């Protein structure tokens, strides 16, 4: 799934983002999000980092969770709000224009689930560390961290193959939007580094897209 670099083009036209991403990923992103959200239960408090047009946030709300979705792109949020209204979920989902740097305003041990889809690959190195540390702080003991993102494959052969597939796509996206994405390297290690315990990791065949589930230990040494 090297296609994610093309989402940059879609982001420049938020109205086409959802449809475009679905076409680009042949629906695989949809099923990845469905699997991730299956960990969310009714009545839980959920935070979606970099919610974009609300793919993960709205799925969680549909499962009966109380959701807060944050993103820095006001145009994407407008679409997310419209979708919430259309789905009759305005009472349980709240979209805020806010970046991960503002997570220090959130209460400690507050959320049952902190999730993020295709957001970490857009953060700077400092932001990524900060976001993970804050996620660890604001999620309840025993709560979950759910991530789905573009990652750097582990083996050299796969990195090379992915690079070759990605290059022409990256050039198109770059020419169009002058931006690109940065696949995350060592995501599991980084997640463990801030204190989460890994529960499961699912990788695509090429090893370039990761679904990760981790838990915050109830007490030290779990």
Partner 1 sequence: MSFLGYALVSIVGTLLRLVPWSSQTGLLEIGRPDRDSPVLLTCNFRLTVERVRRALRGVDAYLLVANSRGINVWCAATGGLLTNHDVLSVLKTSGIEDRVDHRQVILPQLAATGVEGRVLERKSGWKVVWGPVYADDIPLFLDTQLKKGAGMRQVRFPWTERLEMAASWAFPISVVLALITAVFWRHALVSAICVVWVLALVLYMSFPLYGRWLGSGFRGGAVLLAVFAVLWVAAMLVLASYAFALGYAPWGEIGRWGVLTFAVLGVMLIDLMGSTPLYKSGLHEDRILKVVLDEGKCRGVGYCEDVCPRDCYEVNRAQHSAAMPRAHQCVQCGACIVQCPFDALQFQSPRGETITPETIRKFKLNLMGKRVER
Binding region for partner 1 (CB under 8 A): 12-15, 72, 74-75, 78-79, 82, 98-102, 104, 124-127, 129-130, 174, 176-179
Q: How many CA atoms lie within 13 A of 221 on its CB side?
A: 0
Nearest distance from residue 72's CB to partner 1, in Å? 4
Could you give phi then psi for residue 49, rounded to 5 degrees?
A: -85, 125
Token pair recorded at residue 91: 């009472």
Nearest distance from residue 170's CB to partner 1, in Å? 13
Nearest distance from residue 60's CB to partner 1, in Å? 23
Nearest distance from residue 76's CB to partner 1, in Å? 11
- Residue 110 vs 130, nearer CB to partner 1: 130
| Cα(97)–Cα(73) distance, integer angstroms | 7
Nearest distance from residue 130's CB to partner 1, in Å? 4
Nearest distance from residue 98's CB to partner 1, in Å? 8
- Residue 26 vs 176, nearer CB to partner 1: 176
- Residue 20 vs 99, nearer CB to partner 1: 99
- Residue 110 vs 174, nearer CB to partner 1: 174
- Residue 34 vs 104, nearer CB to partner 1: 104
- Residue 33 vs 120, nearer CB to partner 1: 120
Nearest distance from residue 108's CB to partner 1, in Å? 17
Give the DSSP letter string of the chain: -GGGGGHHHHHTSGGGHHHHHHHHTTTHHHHHHHHHHTT--TT-EEEEET-TTTHHHHHHHHTT-EEEEEES-HHHHHHHHHHHHHTT-TTTEEEEE--GGGGGGSPTT-EEEEEEES-GGGS-HHHHHHHHHHHHHHEEEEEEEEEEEEB--SSHHHHHHHHHHHHHHHHHHHHHHS-----BSSHHHHHHHTT-EEEEEEE-TTS-EEEEEEE--SSTT-
- Residue 32 vs 80, nearer CB to partner 1: 80
| Cα(148)–Cα(121) distance, integer angstroms | 10
């Amino acid at each position: 799934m090297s296609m994610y670099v093309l989402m940059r083009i879609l982001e420049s036209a938020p109205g086409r983002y959802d449809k475009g991403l679905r076409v680009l990923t042949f629906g695989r992103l949809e099923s990845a999000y469905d699997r991730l959200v299956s960990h969310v239960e009714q009545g839980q408090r959920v935070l979606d980092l970099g919610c974009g047009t609300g793919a993960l946030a709205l799925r969680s709300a549909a499962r009966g969770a109380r959701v807060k979705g944050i993103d820095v792109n006001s145009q994407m949020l407008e679409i997310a709000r419209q979708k919430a209204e259309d789905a009759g979920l305005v009472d349980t989902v709240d979209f805020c224009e806010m970046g991960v740097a503002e997570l220090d305003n959130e209460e400690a041990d507050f959320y049952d689930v902190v999730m993020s889809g295709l957001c970490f690959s857009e953060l700077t190195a400092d932001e990524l560390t900060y976001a993970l540390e804050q996620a660890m702080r604001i999620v309840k003991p025993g709560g979950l961290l759910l991530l789905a993102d573009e990652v750097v494959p582990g083996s050299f052969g796969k990195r090379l193959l992915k690079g070759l597939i990605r290059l022409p796509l990256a050039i198109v996206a770059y020419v169009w939007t002058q931006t690109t994405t940065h696949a995350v390297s060592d995501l599991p290690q980084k997640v463990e580094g801030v204190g989460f315990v890994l529960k499961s990791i699912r990788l695509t065949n090429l090893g370039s897209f990761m679904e990760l589930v981790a838990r915050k230990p109830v007490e030290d040494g779990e």
